[in-house]
Amino acid sequence: MFKGLLTLVFLSLSLPTFAAPVVGGTFLNNLGAEPPTLNPLSSQDASASEIENYTMSALLERNPDTYEWEESVAEKWSISKDGMTFDFKIREGVTFHDGKPLTAEDVKFTFDAIMDKENKYKTAHRRSYFENFESVEVIDQYNVRFKAKEVYFANFDQAAGLSIVPKHVYADTSKKAEKKLNKTIVGSGPYILDEFKRGRQIMLKRNPNWYGWKLKTKKGEHNYERILFRFLKEPEVELQRFEKGDLDFVGLSPEKFVLRAKGGKWGKDLIKKKVENKAPSGYSFIGFNLTSPIFSSVKTRKALAMLVNKPLMNEKFQFDLSLSANGPVYRQSFYNNTDVKPVEYDPKAALALLREDGWADKDGDGILEKNGVKLSFTILEPLQDFIKYLTIFQEDAKKAGVDINVKYVEWNTFIKLLNERKFDAVRLAWTGGQVDWDPKQVWHSSSIANEGSNFVQYSNPKVDKLIDESRATMDRNKRAQMLKQVHKIISDDHAYIYFFNRKYALYAHNKRVKMEKDTYNYTIGASHWWLEP
């Protein structure tokens, strides 16, 4: 489940064929994984978020170039002098996809569902962003007030960015309703869910009644008549389908960008782009289940990180298009602690550290053990293309006496095991999140319960305290100093093995996709693209 000024560098530039966007056509895209649920209250994965981006609306939206808030569902807003009360005036005539009007009652319901103490709506992963609010009050049909009970630097941002669900659809928490809502989504956004075929595709159609068509700030956006999302899990298959014309757009890994995206139609019918912008960068990682005796020691976890040959992975798969991650915030971030260095690959030092921590091969089978427990574990992996990274790790670890099994798990099953905490270790990735970092959702101990995002079950009282204090600090520079401490402590605790942050946004589109520019300051701007008639 959302400031910084840098110079934007364009590394490629394509000029639009048309003077203005053209409406029409079906845009062919890929989600990668089928969403386990489309319910915008309970969904947690990137695939569902992508669908929500097209079908849901928030009170306000960010400008892609300035990052400033602009009108959306709300046409006016105000902040009290003490910064604790936020009023929003909902524009009249906004309707949900089923034709029912969007009112202040729906805004209040959305907030109340997120904060429901019984977790009936399975929203624990979103709660940390709204917990500092005392209430949401309905003033009248089109006016709503958010009242904060505690200072939080992002209180207004969270209120403004709240995606609103219709109370008349999502209030029912019965098992029957839950099953139905997993397969549908009702919002007030520019696209309506037209079809969801399990195992095959999702089709969205343009919403003729979207309020945004009348707004100047939305001019030129959402030009496709339909959007078809496929569920192609393998990057190589995805690229093949793109080359055949079954997709209009693909994101590219550095490996695909350098080695595969060339020859044939590339440069003519298929155009690849390498752009730099200010959008936050995510990172891939291996997360340890910290309740496991194997991973109870920081020394052991650090030693395992030292067995990851990132220089080789960078050479073989990243081609110097990424940065070696140094912790839970991306390297280009304002909150990055530059004193924290990425863990270096050093198998000899890793083995020495494991022995120092009490691990030894007592029975001569080549696997280290301690207190009768073998240093043997399984990493769950939801994306087959990443297995080659884990294979390198697996082979180096074996030489040091660490037995690693890599197991590919289908996405829906993977999420279930993650939420139930039934894993030794998992390989996953976090997206970049917000420009202003708030680590509470992932790293605060309060985010462990109720299927929260702290699935590795990391707990450090000092980190909790610093996170809490940083959230109540409005001065960005002072907050950064606190969060740089958080960055260092979490990195030193080695709950994750961190892989890479991207340097650039790498993607490709075919020649029928048109755009005014390759990227905006905070996004590549796919919602502004259109198709050649």
Task: Evaluate whether 55-173 and 283-502 have a shared fold.
Answer: no
According to the model, what pLDDT value does residue 181 have? 95
| Interval 323-352: pLDDT, tens | 999 999 999 999 999 999 999 999 999 999
According to the model, what pLDDT value does residue 207 have? 98
Residue 444, both tokens: 């605060």
pLDDT of residue 199 exceeding 70:
yes
b/e sequence 168-206, b meaning 16+ C-beta within 10 Å: ebbeeeeeeebeebbeebbbbbbbbbeebeeeebbbbeb
What is the rounded CA–CA span in Å between residue 508 and residue 514? 12
Burial class (CB in 10 A: 0-12, 13-18, 19+), 503: middle
According to the model, what pLDDT value does residue 12 have? 39
Mean pLDDT of 364-393: 96
In the three-class reduction of DSSP (H, G, I as helix; E, B as strand; rest coil), residue 229 is classed as: strand
| Interval 111-126: pLDDT, tens | 999 999 999 999 988 9
- Domains in the chain: boundaries: 55-173, 283-502
Crossing angle, helix 476-493 and helix 298-305, to 10 degrees? 90
Mean pLDDT of 32-49: 93
Backbone angles phi, psi at 357, to 5 degrees: -85, 5
Give me the chain's average pLDDT, please: 94
pLDDT of residue 475 exceeding 50:
yes
Mean pLDDT of 210-237: 95
Beta-carbon contacts of residue 15 (< 8 Å; ≥ 6 apart): none
Distances (CA, A) of 122 to 20, 185, 362, 466: 43, 16, 46, 27
According to the model, what pLDDT value does residue 5 have? 30
CATH architecture group of domain 55-173:
Alpha-Beta Complex (3.90)
Residue 257, both tokens: 């960008």
CATH topology for 283-502 is: Dipeptide-binding Protein; domain 3 (3.10.105)
Nearest to residue 322, comparing CAs of 283, 293, 369, 352?
283
461: alpha, beta or left, given left = phi > 0 and alpha = psi -120 to 50? Answer: alpha
According to the model, what pLDDT value does residue 66 have? 96
Q: In DSSP terms, which residues pair with 192 in a beta bridge? A: 205
**pLDDT confidence bin for 18, thresholds 50/70/90:** very low
Task: Please state, for a pLDDT cut of 70, what percent of the chain lies above it.
Answer: 96
Backbone angles phi, psi at 263, to 5 degrees: 75, 175
pLDDT of residue 1 exceeding 50:
no
Mean pLDDT of 204-211: 98
pLDDT of residue 306 exceeding 90:
yes
According to the model, what pLDDT value does residue 377 have? 98
Mean pLDDT of 43-51: 92
pLDDT of residue 171 exceeding 80:
yes
- The answer to whether 305 and 345 are in contact (CB under 8 A) is no
**pLDDT confidence bin for 218, thresholds 50/70/90:** very high
According to the model, what pLDDT value does residue 19 have? 58
Number of residues that make up the chain = 533
Distances (CA, A) of 100 to 138, 280, 338: 18, 36, 51
Q: In DSSP terms, which residues pair with 227 in a beta bridge? A: 27, 204
- The answer to whether 191 and 26 are in contact (CB under 8 A) is no
| Interval 174-194: pLDDT, tens | 999 999 999 999 999 999 999
The pTM score is 0.87
Higher pLDDT: 1 or 433? It is 433
**pLDDT confidence bin for 451, thresholds 50/70/90:** confident
Residue whose tokens read 């309707």: 95
Residue 356, both tokens: 């120092």
Residue 175, both tokens: 């098992």
Mean pLDDT of 497-516: 96
According to the model, what pLDDT value does residue 336 have? 97
Backbone angles phi, psi at 64, to 5 degrees: -70, -15
Nearest to residue 525, comparing CAs of 517, 66, 67, 11?
517
What is the rounded CA–CA span in Å between residue 268 and residue 271? 7
- The answer to whether 490 and 527 are in contact (CB under 8 A) is no
What is the rounded CA–CA span in Å between residue 114 and residue 130? 8
What is the number of alpha carbons within 13 Å of residue 36 lying toward its C-beta?
16
Backbone angles phi, psi at 404, to 5 degrees: -120, 130
- The answer to whether 473 and 479 are in contact (CB under 8 A) is yes
Burial class (CB in 10 A: 0-12, 13-18, 19+), 123: buried
According to the model, what pLDDT value does residue 469 have? 97
